[in-house]
Structures are given as structure tokens and as C-alpha cells.
Amino acid sequence: MAKKEKNKVKEVVEDEVMVDVIESTDYKQSFLEKYQNYLIYAAGALLLLVAAFFAYKYLYLAPKEKEAVTEMRQAELQFERDSFALALEKPGEGFIGFIDIIDEYSGTKAGNLAKYYAGISYLNIGKYQEAIDYLKDFSEDDLLTAIPKYGAMGDAYSELNDFDNAKKYYKIAVDKDANDLLTPYYLHKLALLYKSESKNEEAAKYLKRLKDEFPNSSYGKDADRLIFPPSNE
């Protein structure tokens, strides 16, 4: 191809590229002009959403959290005294109980913790379904509340003679990361429940785990006797 023809082809290609660039730029400008208001509204809505989140967190939720913690102290005191009915509804001295704290301080950590206290309180006064309902609704965030939550649900189902669910929740409790105080306690309960159903192989499995993993606990020391009971038992 002659040099003159090559230059002509090159000029044509460059012109087409330039046209494409101009058309693309015109399209972008047209798009922005057409949807400018929508984009401004969307950005404004996003800013309002972010502002609302921080306002809720720091101007509403933080003071509410502090208020809830103060309000719950009297109910906690009654709970520590094993005055569970009072802790639930009438702890005294002008303070509200766990049930009202749950309602009035929804969304706070204290309001969530009150569900745990309420569940354990109902368990102790023999209202087992209420205990289950509140414990299910409680969002645990560490082992100090996760293991007793599921263990207590196992207790409540056991009291209702719903042994399948009792075993289910005891298993959840013992499968959490081990706690030297709580895990052997619920392993023991789970083993005894299987033993009461004459499911000795299952009972032995949990008793062996109890003996192997927690030999120094009172339940671990008792595991051999339960696995191999004396002949007169």
C-alpha cells in the first residue's frame, strides 16, 4: 500500500475514534444532565441515612443504654437474692422489672440481657414455656451467657417432659467452647437424661467425655461410677 493511501486510512480511523469519543462524551453529559436531580436526591438520601444512623446510635441509643443499665440494677439485686418474681415485675424502690425493661429499652444491650434474666427467672418459678420464649429471644454474645442459655432451655424442656428438645439444647450447650464450670455440669445432665431412657451407649459417650476432658470436676470424678455402676444398682 502506498504511503499516501496509508496516511489516508490512518486519518479515517483517527476521525472515527474521535467521533466515538465525542459521542461518548455527549452521551455522558446527556445522561448526567437528564438524571442530575435523581443523583442529587440519591446522594442526599444516603447522607440523611448516615446522619440518622449516627444520631440514633449516639444521641438516642447511648443515653437510652445508660438509662436502662441504671433502671435494671434493682431487678438484678432481686435476682441475686433469688427473688425471681419480684425481679420480673416489681423489684421495688420505684424501679421497673425485667419485663418492663425489655419493652421500654428494646434495642439496647441491657434490654437484650433482661431477656436472659427473665428466662432464668421464669425457669426458677416453674413457668417453663415462658422461660423458653425469653431465652430463645435473647441474643447471646459470649460463652458466659451462651452456655447457660442453652443449658437452661434444656432444663425447661426437660421439666415439660419434652426430652428430645431437652437433649437438643443440652448438646448445643456442651458443644460450645469448653467452660470448666458449666460444660461438665451440662454433660452430666445430658448423660443422666440418656441413662434415664436406658440409652446406655449414648450416656456412656458423654460420661467418657466428662471423664476425659474434666477429670478434676466433681462430675468427672463421678463419671466412672455412672459408666460402671455397682452390681447392686
As a whole number, mean pLDDT of residues 22-39 equals: 53
Concatenated DSSP letters for 118-147?
A: HHHHHHHTT-HHHHHHHHHH----SHHHHH
As a whole number, mean pLDDT of residues 121-148 equals: 91
Domain of residue 188, CATH code? 1.25.40.10
pLDDT at 18: 45
222, pLDDT greater than 70: yes
For residue range 105-123, list pLDDT tens digits in order.
888 888 999 999 999 999 9
As a whole number, mean pLDDT of residues 184-191 equals: 93
Task: Note whether 149 and 75 are same-domain residues.
Answer: no
For residue 228, name the pLDDT band (cuts at 50, 70, 90).
Answer: low
Q: Which of 84-93, 97-106, 167-176, 223-232 has the lowest mean pLDDT?
A: 223-232
pLDDT at 33: 59
Task: Note whether 122 and 37 are same-domain residues.
Answer: yes
Helix (H) or strand (E) holding 112: helix 109-124
Report yes or no: 115 and 140 within 8 Å, Cβ to Cβ: no
| Cell triple for 27 | 452521551
User: What is the Cα–Cα distance from 115 to 98, expressed in whole angstroms?
Assistant: 7
pLDDT at 19: 42
Task: Note whether 179 and 133 are same-domain residues.
Answer: no
Give the pTM: 0.72
User: What is the Cα–Cα distance from 141 to 154, expressed in whole angstroms?
Assistant: 19
Show the domain range for 189: 140-233
For residue range 196-207, list pLDDT tens digits in order.
999 989 999 999
> Does residue 17 fall inside a structural domain?
no
Q: Give the 3-state secondary structure of residue 95.
A: strand
Last residue of a domain, one of 119, 138, 157: 138
As a whole number, mean pLDDT of residues 87-116 equals: 91
Task: Note whether 78 and 145 are same-domain residues.
Answer: no
User: What is the Cα–Cα distance from 175 to 150, expressed in whole angstroms?
Assistant: 10
Task: Note whether 192 and 104 are same-domain residues.
Answer: no
130, pLDDT greater than 90: yes
